[in-house]
Amino acid sequence: MQIEETVLAGVLVLTPKRFGDDRGWFSETWNASAMASAGLDLEFVQDNHSMSAGVGTVRGLHYQAPPRAQDKLVRCTAGVIFDVAVDFRRGSPSFGRWFGVELSAQNGKQLLVPKGFLHGFVTRAANTEVQYKCTDVYAPECDGGVRWDDPEIGIDWGLSGPAVLSGKDAIAPLLGEVVSPFEWVAA
């Protein structure tokens, strides 16, 4: 597994090795003991799977607050997404900054989004499927979000038309209207 650091400390791009033959390929997308040896000691307890029918579907920017905060390992298993993490830790030198990467069924890349970061993605192909592992279960009372198009964050989603949004995402508050439940702690 190749592990790449990003401009946001803790946000990582993981690219599993693929082993191919005349049948296709095989890939180990997560191995707890190998990842713990690499410093990623995470216990995933829930797997999620979404399908977005249309191109330009935006899901995010979401977070789950403590005490049910989640680390997420995101991959695209059909189609293509532009996946984004935003630093949401009060006091962080990179608060409000974002990082994005294209994840596709073809490239096999995964994005590790730690607790304290907002997460969202936009689909770049029809019938796109996204799967992600979480270190805590979904807790609606801890669910939160920030506007996907907040000008203070300034994410370039690469949209060529209007975004397809859920009702919840369409009315999410701006970054400046939310007090983050996460606080940055210097390492």
User: Would you name the residues annotated as active-site residues?
Assistant: 62, 132
Q: How far apart are CA 183 and CA 92, in angstroms?
A: 8
Per DSSP, helices labelled H in the chain are: 32-37, 167-170
Q: How many CB atoms lie within 10 A of CB 72?
A: 26
Assigned token pair, 79: 């189609």
The CA R_g of the chain, rounded to the nearest whole Å, is: 16
Cβ-proximal residues to 183 (8 Å cutoff; 6+ apart), any chain: 89, 90, 91
Q: Are strands 128-134 and 46-52 parallel, antiparallel or unpaired?
A: antiparallel
Cα–Cα nearest to 164, from 56, 53, 52, 50: 56
Assigned token pair, 96: 């409000």
Residues facing residue 19 across a β-bridge: 26
Assigned token pair, 172: 């999410």
